[in-house]
Amino acid sequence: MPTSNNPPFPAALRLFSVVVIIVLIVGAGLFFAPVLVKPRWPWAVTPFNARFLGGFYTAEMVVMAALLVWNRWSPGRLVLVMAFIFTAIVSVASFINLGYFNFERKAPWLWFLVYLASVAVSGLFLWRARARPSAKGVTLNPAWRGYMPVESAILGFYGVGLLLFPLTFSSIWPWPIDAFHAQVYSAIFLAGAGGIYLVWKSAPREELLVLGLAQFLIGLLAILGVVITDAAVHRIDWTATGTLCWLALFGGIGISGVFKLYAASRYFRSQSAL
């Protein structure tokens, strides 16, 4: 991998990545061990919300691990932009909904500390590197060039809808979610929209690979989490229109991720053959 336009990150940012991964392991526990993690979560979560959040944190943990392993501007630029968008929006949603937190416990204080620190660190680094061009990218074919801005716009529109009109835009979800969770979930869509737009403008191979991996895991774990949870509680109407729309939404996100992974692998193979 050329290093002239894809420099390594400073050691301090690697340390930040390690800390974030450790925190995300706890979040991933909501998917793999919800009975153990739910009582320690900063606010009360239902079984479906727990598994959904745990699935997302698992995907985020894998993406942060990619940043730690590569330790370069690409895919770091993508990871930091998406992390900044996500943590900033979740922080705002948390401040708007302070009533969900019991500040007599330690968990809410740690929640705000971790999220505000993440916003500050990722934002500061991106600001300092704002003039740095992206790493050398690949030329996307016309189909990708036409599809990615549309995908970004759809995710962005739905994310804004969840943030501003949470109860209306969350009505398609298979289980009932309140305004707070809808606004937290809006950050997932808006971070995804920002990441897709970034890669569409300039598509370094590593960023296309990491974005594809993130989308694949989010789509897969979201659906798998609902299936696993409903097997125990039997609350989902699988034939309801809203449920089918939700499955199509996350299924589409996962499938789009698979195609991005395939495209990235082709670019890597062609590069290694040179």
Domain boundaries defined on the chain: 11-272
- Per-residue model confidence (pLDDT) at position 151: 98
Q: Which residues contact 18 (CB under 8 A, 6 or more apart)?
A: 68
Question: Residues 234-239: what's their mean pLDDT?
Answer: 97
Residues 157-203 pLDDT 10s: 999 999 999 999 999 999 999 999 999 999 999 999 999 999 998 88
Angle at 247 between CA 245 and CA 253, to 5 degrees: 105
The answer to whether residues 210 and 78 touch, using CB atoms and an 8 Å cutoff, is: yes
Question: What is the pTM for the complete model shown?
Answer: 0.93
Sorting pLDDT into bands at 50, 70 and 90, what band is 270?
A: low
Q: Which has more pLDDT, 229 or 139? A: 229
> Does position 138 have pLDDT exceeding 90, yes or no?
no
What is 173-237 written as a DSSP string? SSS---HHHHHHHHHHHHHHHHHHHHHHHSB-HHHHHHHHHHHHHHHHHHHHHHHHHHHHH----
- Percent over 90 (pLDDT), the chain: 77
Question: Residues 59-79: what's their mean pLDDT?
Answer: 90
> Does position 224 have pLDDT exceeding 50, yes or no?
yes
Interatomic CA distance for residues 5 and 74, integer angstroms = 9
Question: Residues 64-84: what's their mean pLDDT?
Answer: 91
Interatomic CA distance for residues 6 and 118, integer angstroms = 23
Sorting pLDDT into bands at 50, 70 and 90, what band is 2?
A: very low
Task: Please state, rounded to an integer, the average pLDDT across all residues of the chain.
Answer: 92
